[in-house]
Amino acid sequence: MLRVLFAGTPECAVPSLEALARAHRVVAVLTNPPAPAGRSGVPVPSPVEAAARRLMAEGAIEPDAPIITPEKLNDAVRAEIARARPDIMACFAYGKIFGPKTLALFPLGAVNVHPSLLPRWRGCAPVPAAILARDGETGVTVQKMALEMDSGDVIAQIKIPLDGTETAESLLAHAAALGAPLLVEAIGRFERGPVEGTPQDGSLATYCAMLRKEDGEIDWTRSAAEIDAKIRAYAPWPGAFTVAGGNVLLIHKAHVRAESPAQGGTGKGVPGSIVGIDKKAGILVQTGDGTLALETLQWRTKKALDFKSFLNGTRNFPDLILGQKEQKVENHEI
């Protein structure tokens, strides 16, 4: 049985750790250090660290297996990894780049789970990127880890069809569930002998960058389909937002409206203007191309509400033009 070091940090990596712990021998876990959480700012362990301790209590991971939580991958960390004598590293969303000194610690190399159909969407935010691009499909890839990010030979890959309703949160959870057994199967192949992957075609590579908070601002001159994709791609973080009546308004859920509105609103046709209220669909907003129906909204300092409850607390909202900063909102106490 291979000795596996698992490297990962967020919740999406937990299914892979759980599957590996029950199918192979996890001899060490590498994850980010505890980080401040909530209003108190008290540091809490990463989801992977919490899962590793639970698996130890259940007997799926040996109780003396080290849980390594470094700020940086330095010589002291590499020495601790070497003491665990891992044969191979399995990684899903660890959050740090592995250099040649670290990769040299694993006789059989390292494999990485990446939630895209590599070589499409190399980088740290492939799930939002696929939604933003309105791709018809994405997937999960298990690749041999290489020094160039996400460029390693493909060992296993599975496709995920997209129907245009996915959020980053739901799609990542789905990819994480599919990636766990794919990783287990890939590690099993190394146990049986040398594994040859399929080289990626670098000419087909596309790249995605780390998301920033400001990326979530909505440009109402874009099409309704583009804005809908942004709202879904940035859920739950960094969140899609706009300015309304001098306040920041978060848009949690919306959909493209096929037909034109017939009642309510300013009817100006200016991108960002409220052109109608549909009692079933939501608040109808003019975009650069088409109409977007807003279903769930939230003032930055308040709670998220369905559109009917939101309108009850914001009297002049239909008169506003979203994205314009100089207007004032009346009575938005919710």
pLDDT per residue as tens digits for the range 309-318: 999 999 899 9
CATH code of residue 37: 3.40.50.170
Confidence of residue 332 (pLDDT cuts 50, 70, 90): very low
Q: Are residues 174 and 223 in the same domain?
A: no
333 in a structural domain: no
141 in a structural domain: yes
Residue 116 carries which side chain, given as an amino acid letter? Answer: S
Distance between the two ends of the chain, CA-based, in angstroms?
58
- Structural domain containing residue 195: 3-208
CATH code of residue 243: 3.10.25.10
Q: Please tell me the predicted confidence (pLDDT) of residue 264.
A: 44
281 in a structural domain: yes
324 in a structural domain: no
Q: Are residues 231 and 187 in the same domain?
A: no
Q: Identify the domain boundary among 190, 208, 226.
A: 208
Into how many domains does the chain fold?
A: 2
Nearest to 28 by CA among 7, 46, 1, 11: 7
177 in a structural domain: yes
Measure the CA–CA gap between 231 and 56, rounded to whole angstroms. 39
pLDDT per residue as tens digits for the range 41-59: 899 999 999 999 999 999 9
331 in a structural domain: no
Instruction: Please check whether residue 88 is in contact with residue 108, taking contact to mean a CB–CB distance below 8 angstroms.
Output: yes
Q: Identify the domain boundary among 208, 241, 262.
A: 208
Q: Identify the domain boundary among 208, 225, 255.
A: 208
Pull the structure tokens for residue 11: 């919740």
pLDDT per residue as tens digits for the range 57-82: 999 999 999 999 999 999 999 999 99
Measure the CA–CA gap between 274 and 311, rounded to whole angstroms. 12
Q: Are residues 59 and 185 in the same domain?
A: yes
294 in a structural domain: yes
226 secondary structure, DSSP code: H
Phi, psi of 48 (to 5 degrees): -70, -40
Residue 51: CB atoms within 10 Å? 25
Q: Please tell me the predicted confidence (pLDDT) of residue 273.
A: 95
Q: Report, as an integer, the average pLDDT of 251-271.
A: 72
pTM, whole model, 2 decimals?
Answer: 0.93
Q: Are residues 83 and 35 in the same domain?
A: yes
Cα 326 off chain centre by:
34
